[in-house]
Structure 1
Amino acid sequence: MSGNSEILAVLKEPAAAAANVGRAAGHQNMQHLIQLRWIAVVGQVTTIAVVAGGFGIQLPLVYMLEVLACLIAFNIASQLRWHEKWAVTNGELFLSMLVDVASLTAQLYLSGGTSNPFIFLYLLQVILSAVLLEAWSTWTIVAITSACLAGLAVVSKPLALPLFHERGYFSLYIQGMLICFAINAALLVVFITRISDNMRAADAQLAKLRQRAAEEEHIVRMGLLASGAAHELGTPLATLSVILGDWRRMPEFRSNPELLEELTEMQTQLARCKSIVSGILLSAGEARGESSVKTTINTFLDGLMAEWRGSRPVVELEYENRIEGDLPVVFDSTLKQTICNVLDNALEASPAWVRLEAWREADELKLRVTDRGPGFLPAMLAHLGKPYQSSKDKPGRGLGLFLVVNVARTMGGTVAASNLEQGGAAVLLSLPLAAIAADEEESHE
């Protein structure tokens, strides 16, 4: 059951991440509305001061300032609320824009209604709603702004402005319309561009999450296939073990040193096959016991390299461990296989020489594997970790790095690959120590 729960966790993680991307985009859009509202406050204060003080036009300043104070209070409350809360729904964006429409309607009612050239600011609200809100919300904004416009034409008092169009640019009404158009255009360009950037970034992040979900689903299928194959291999391996044991007791083998030596080698390789099968089942959570082992970094790495050196035909292996101050950690067979995959890839590319360096950098464990092979193709470096990307030109290759990248990503780490100037390639595996560190209580047990 533990294997099934891990699979479900893997499949649910991209969906949760996708939801986080949507919430982040909504939060950024809300922040843009708050910024736009502050611009509206500054614009209203400036316009009221110029019209009342500069042109001497009578305005109900007390009521207009009260509306402005309410808008400022609402924006401060919004800023405090959305500073801490990240989840923003369509309904909350819709209500926020309704407040803006109500504030604009109140100010227009107090300053001439439809005779006010800033009446066209309603278009700004409609266009922003079309970009930010769902379809039903946008049409509701359209209906509300249309009703407000019609209502202002009936109940508001005209603004005492000289509306003689033959005066051209000297008409205050024409000047007001030009200013309103410039404000609308500038705000739309700035904020629509920002909102579009948010949407493009969210779409790109969602595309990455979909790719990650597909890759992890591929890993799940591979894990199920490997687990099934391990079960099927258990019986023939046990049979071979019994047969080899019987052969060792036969006089023909006991009296022939050469056959006995070959028999010993066969039993050694068979034991290794059984160990690999047990490791697969252990990683899948189908074996008894725990797959995680409490140890230390240096003990784990030293033991892994000794085991890998003894089971692979490597000519020269350089192992440099620069980790000072051993640290209690918990390693499992999955991480062990991940490191072995990187070493195996290096060995296939460079059978004569492989090097592993280990060191600690801040709160990360760094493992760097280098070889003297032909290096990575440019396409592989551009798509590191994609399945079936390999320079070995053999079917099914390229899964090693694919698994390595996904295991590291699951642990919060990264994998980087590069070609060396002197020839060969290097793979750098970075893992956060928090993902493998043992709890203090566990380390004392």
Structure 2
Amino acid sequence: MSRFLPKSTESAPQENFKSLLLLRGLSLFGQVLAIILVVYYVELSLPVLSLGYILVVNIIWTLVSFLILKGRANIADHLFFIQLIFDVATLTAVLYLTGGATNPFAWFLLVPHSIASTLLPRLYAWLMALVTSASYTAIVFFYEPLMHRDHPMEMGMDGHFQEHIIGMWLGFVLSAFLMAYFVAGMAESLRKRNKLLADMKDKMFRDERLVALGTLATGAAHELGTPLGTVDIIAHELEQHFKAPEHEAVRSKLALIQQQVKRCKASLANITETASQQRHDAGQVMAVDDYIQGLIMQWQVSHPDVLLQQQWLGQGDVPNILSDLSLSHSIINVLDNAAQASASQIMLTVSWDDDFVRIVIEDEGPGMSEEQLAALGKSVHSPTSAGLGLGTYIAKASVERIGGNIDWKNGDIKGLHVTVCLPLYKQEC
């Protein structure tokens, strides 16, 4: 039986839906077989035509549901709940025509309820408990009695048998609500645990990739040191060679080359220093305004022509933040991307509350599509032709590693809004 029940994970809604349809198909086959045995072997009188109509409606509903929902990768909870409600309704109709609560298969109403309690949120489990209890209550008092074909006498609710049926009804209602409370609660705990395990697995995968990227970056820093030194030496020699006044333009370009080489060497030195630190993850405690202003000064050295407007919305004393080199590079990477999209002007807004500081960076570029936004930070490959691959991946991982988050969305009119949310540093007692 367990092989036909849906999996108790919220990551396989399509498979759960297919399992439900398979279980419904087995139920239809069982109902047809039961009708044949009851009519021809037990020789009870059944409304075969009415039961046939119900079976046909059930088959049509199953086929239509399969055709409509088969292409969906994710089936919402309310759609799954509607499928279970249909099963309860058709089973109640069958039980109404076949003896109501006197039918030994009346307890099958618990099957949809058990599925709802296992797979769906607790609200749906309680709703299903109410629906199945109401259905069972209805077939206790309203039903078509079973009669033998040779001596048509109701197999009814006389004497102790009536008390037995009432006891069965009470047992069903108690079972339904206990299942809604305990089984749904345990299923919800399992779903939370599965989600936590999935998040931890994703975090471990990101950390492994970051370690690999850090190793590659350190190796590249060592390998690039020699060619950069060679370029610096050649630029210096050429500068000595073109000392004549008529070569002023050449000397200015050589000075620019030397300046960029020094910048590259400084970046490579930072990479090597970060990799060699034993506890660089511990970070440094800094005031939020000092930290942000330091990043802005560092960034504006390479972007002197970009107008960066600032807005500070924090109230009260300026809080502290735990910074490290990877976080600084992440925020600078976001500023670089904004400057690339909007070379004229960027808006930076900083605000904070008791727990977090929020840094919002807005550009005036064309923005991105919803598909591109959804892919940002999830892969080292860029979703656009303008980059935004490895840098955003590292930025997202670095921010999330310290307990923050980063979000990309399009502006109301134009541009891209990037929100970096970072936890504040709080001194432990």
**Bin of the TM-score, shorter chain as denominator length:** 0.5 to 0.7
The one-letter amino acid paired with 2:422 is L
Q: Which SS does the other structure have where 2:211 is aligned?
A: helix
Segments of structure 2 that go 5 or more residues without pairing to the other structure are: 1-106, 108-113, 119-155
State the alpha-carbon separation in 2 of the partners of residues 330 and 174 from structure 1. Answer: 68
| Deviations 1:314-354 (CA, angstroms, capped at 9, x unpaired) | 44322334556445555322121011011111112222222
Question: Which residue of the partner structure matches residue 253 of structure 1?
Answer: 243
1:341 is the counterpart of 2:349 = no
Mapping 1:427-442, distance limit 5 Å: 427-434=418-425
State the alpha-carbon separation in 2 of the partners of residues 402 and 347 from structure 1. Answer: 18
**Cα drift, residue 237 of structure 1:** 1.8
Return 418-427 or 326-335, whichever deviates more.
326-335
Conserved? CA contact 1:369–1:427, under 8 Å: yes
The one-letter amino acid paired with 2:324 is D
1:363 is the counterpart of 2:355 = yes
Question: Which residue of the partner structure matches residue 6 of structure 1?
Answer: none
Conserved? CA contact 1:294–1:438, under 8 Å: no
| Deviations 1:385-421 (CA, angstroms, capped at 9, x unpaired) | 2125655325x64222222222111111121222111
**Cα drift, residue 295 of structure 1:** 4.6
Question: Which residue of the partner structure matches residue 416 of structure 1?
Answer: 407
Question: Which residue of the partner structure matches residue 323 of structure 2?
Answer: 331
Q: 1:224 to 1:420 in 2, by over 3 A?
A: same
Conserved? CA contact 1:353–1:372, under 8 Å: yes
Give TM-score scaled by structure 2 length.
0.56
The one-letter amino acid paired with 1:430 is C
Conserved? CA contact 2:337–2:388, under 8 Å: no
Q: Which SS does the other structure have where 2:358 is aligned?
A: strand
Aligned CA RMSD, in angstroms, stands at 3.7
State the alpha-carbon separation in 1 of the partners of residues 207 and 220 from structure 2. Answer: 20
State the alpha-carbon separation in 2 of the partners of residues 275 and 313 from structure 1. Answer: 19
Mapping 1:91-130, distance limit 5 Å: none
Give TM-score scaled by structure 1 length.
0.54
Question: Which residue of the partner structure matches residue 209 of structure 1?
Answer: 200
State the alpha-carbon separation in 2 of the partners of residues 310 and 259 from structure 1. Answer: 23
**Cα drift, residue 365 of structure 1:** 1.7
State the alpha-carbon separation in 2 of the partners of residues 297 and 199 from structure 1. Answer: 40
Identity %: 29
Question: Which residue of the partner structure matches residue 27 of structure 2?
Answer: none
State the alpha-carbon separation in 1 of the partners of residues 250 and 357 from structure 2. Answer: 46
1:311 is the counterpart of 2:302 = yes
Segments of structure 1 that go 5 or more residues without pairing to the other structure are: 1-119, 121-126, 132-164, 441-445
State the alpha-carbon separation in 1 of the partners of residues 202 and 253 from structure 2. Answer: 48
State the alpha-carbon separation in 2 of the partners of residues 307 and 432 from structure 1. Answer: 23
State the alpha-carbon separation in 2 of the partners of residues 263 and 369 from structure 1. Answer: 34
| Deviations 1:192-232 (CA, angstroms, capped at 9, x unpaired) | 23333332333233223322322222222211111111111
Q: Which SS does the other structure have where 1:253 is aligned?
A: coil
State the alpha-carbon separation in 2 of the partners of residues 219 and 200 from structure 1. Answer: 28
Q: 1:397 to 1:296 in 2, by over 3 A?
A: closer
Q: Which structure's residues are more often helix, by fraction?
A: 1
Q: 1:172 to 1:373 in 2, by over 3 A?
A: same
Conserved? CA contact 1:278–1:287, under 8 Å: no
Question: Which residue of the partner structure matches residue 142 of structure 2?
Answer: none
Mapping 1:6-405, distance limit 5 Å: 167-169=158-160, 172=163, 175-248=166-239, 250-253=240-243, 255=245, 256-285=247-276, 292=283, 295-312=286-303, 314-322=305-313, 325-327=317-319, 329-388=321-380, 390=382, 392-393=384-385, 397-405=388-396
| Deviations 1:96-148 (CA, angstroms, capped at 9, x unpaired) | xxxxxxxxxxxxxxxxxxxxxxxx9xxxxxx9xxx9xxxxxxxxxxxxxxxxx
